Amino acid sequence: MKKLGQVISISASGYMIVRNRDIPRIGTKVYAGNGKYVGKVYKILGPTKKPYILIEGHANIGDKLFVR
């Protein structure tokens, strides 16, 4: 698995927010460190060098997330 990043915040709409230089495709499945499915990439926002990645699903602030 490839590291996506750490959850830095939860939006008012309930989306997890992660920052990363590598931009995944919308709809990419996201997993916790133990391999458990936690959600999918919903939207990409912000600067192209290090965008904010919104993830639809459930995890806590500080959790490290991964993609396959």
pLDDT digits (tens, 9 = 90+) for 20-52: 999 999 999 999 999 999 999 999 999 989 999
Total structural domains in the chain?
1
% the chain with pLDDT above 70: 100
Residues for the chain: how many in total?
Answer: 68
49-56 mean pLDDT = 95
Give the CATH number for residue 40: 2.40.10.230
Whole domain around residue 20: which residue ranges? 2-67
- Which two three-digit tokens encode residue 13? 């709409």
Could you tell me the strand order of the sheet in which 2-6 lies?
Answer: 2-6, 64-67, 29-32, 37-45, 52-57, 16-19, 9-10
Question: Which pLDDT belongs to residue 63?
Answer: 96
Looking at residue 48, its pLDDT comes to 87
User: What pLDDT is recorded for position 62?
Assistant: 96
Residue 11's nearest CA partner among 62, 47, 61 is: 61
| 57 torsion bin: left (phi>0), alpha (psi -120 to 50), beta (else) | left
